Amino acid sequence: VERKNANLLESAWNPADTTIIETDLKPIDTLLGGGIELGTKIMLLGESASGKTTISLQMCERLCSHGYTVLYIDTENTVSESLINNIGLNKYLNNSSKNNGCMFIYKISSYKDVETIIDQYLNDEQIKISAIFIDSFAGLINDCYTEIDNKHQSIVNSNTNFESRPASLFMAKYSALTSRYKVALVMTNQYRMKLDFRNNQSSSKEFGPKAVKYNTDTLIKISQHSYL
């Protein structure tokens, strides 16, 4: 009897191996089918000042309260000490003691720095992170333009060659790694104006190329009137 594919059969998906963590934010838990599933990619999309950062931090607080460790990348320097204290995350900051929730925050915005930090935590045998928050993905893309001399832009296509390639590579890499390591990836994103000068038109579009959306398992749109 040939058993060449036995290892593949044994590694088939088993619902019992799925970990779902409730956020206690009822609309979010309902949309996510009960809570954050480790290993999935989630995007919170909304206008500026719609509450994406606050919701993300509330989700972090719930994860930490359940004993999980989260990594939070603040690309736009929007997380303040007062906000951390108000949500109750201060007691979890850099708390690496065993059996307790922990949160690590980094205020960085370049792809290279973000990748370095994430890779270090994914490969750390002492600290097991369960979720990575990137707030926001738009901040990573905007940081590309600090090297303005290398920018190559099309007037009609708002996803320029300059920004699309690093964003696509980043999403492809961490879509695979978060699935492999069973780490949830939660990102915030926002809209920007897309201008079409040829047809004298404008439209609202989220930051990032199509690869960002295609590598996201769940897209949650948040408005300033959302009730959580």
Q: What is the rounded average pLDDT of the residues 15-30?
A: 84
Which residues are paired to 189 by β-bridges?
Answer: 45
pLDDT band at 90 (very low <50, low <70, confident <90, very high): very high
Query: Tokens representing 138?
Result: 């738009």
- Fill in the amino acid letter for 156: V
Interstrand relation of 20-21 and 36-37 (parallel, antiparallel or unpaired): antiparallel
Ranges 20-24, 36-40, 79-83, 93-97: which has the least confidence: 93-97
Distance of alpha carbon 127 from the chain centroid: 19
More confident residue, 1 or 58: 58
pLDDT band at 9 (very low <50, low <70, confident <90, very high): low
Task: Summarize pLDDT for 94-143 with one digit per residue, the tens.
Answer: 886 666 799 999 999 888 899 999 999 999 988 999 999 999 888 887 76
Query: Tokens representing 74?
Result: 């603040």
How far is the C-alpha of 68 from the C-alpha of 89, rounded, in Å? Answer: 13
With a pLDDT cut of 90, the percent of the chain lying above it is 44
Residues 6 or more apart whose Cβ sits within 8 Å of residue 42: 32, 36, 184, 185, 186, 187, 216, 217, 218, 219, 220
Whole-model pTM: value is: 0.81
As a whole number, the mean pLDDT across the chain is: 80
**What is residue 200's predicted lDDT score, i.e. its pLDDT?**
67
pLDDT at 34 over 60: yes
pLDDT at 12 over 80: no
Do the beta carbons of residue 214 and residue 172 sit within 8 Å? no
Task: Summarize pLDDT for 170-207 with one digit per residue, the tens.
Answer: 888 999 999 999 999 999 988 765 655 566 665 566 66
How far is the C-alpha of 63 from the C-alpha of 88, rounded, in Å? Answer: 12
**What is residue 15's predicted lDDT score, i.e. its pLDDT?**
63
Query: Tokens representing 61?
Result: 């607080």
Q: What is the rounded average pLDDT of the residues 22-29?
A: 89
Q: What is the rounded average pLDDT of the residues 62-69?
A: 93
**What is residue 133's predicted lDDT score, i.e. its pLDDT?**
97
For the chain, list the strands marked E by DSSP: 20-21, 36-37, 41-46, 69-74, 102-106, 131-135, 184-189, 191-196, 201-206, 218-222
- Fill in the amino acid letter for 223: S
Which of 46, 42, 45 has the alpha carbon at shortest distance from 21? Answer: 42
Q: What is the rounded average pLDDT of the residues 15-24?
A: 81
Query: Tokens representing 43?
Result: 């995007």
Do the beta carbons of residue 121 and residue 60 sit within 8 Å? no
Query: Tokens representing 82?
Result: 């007062």
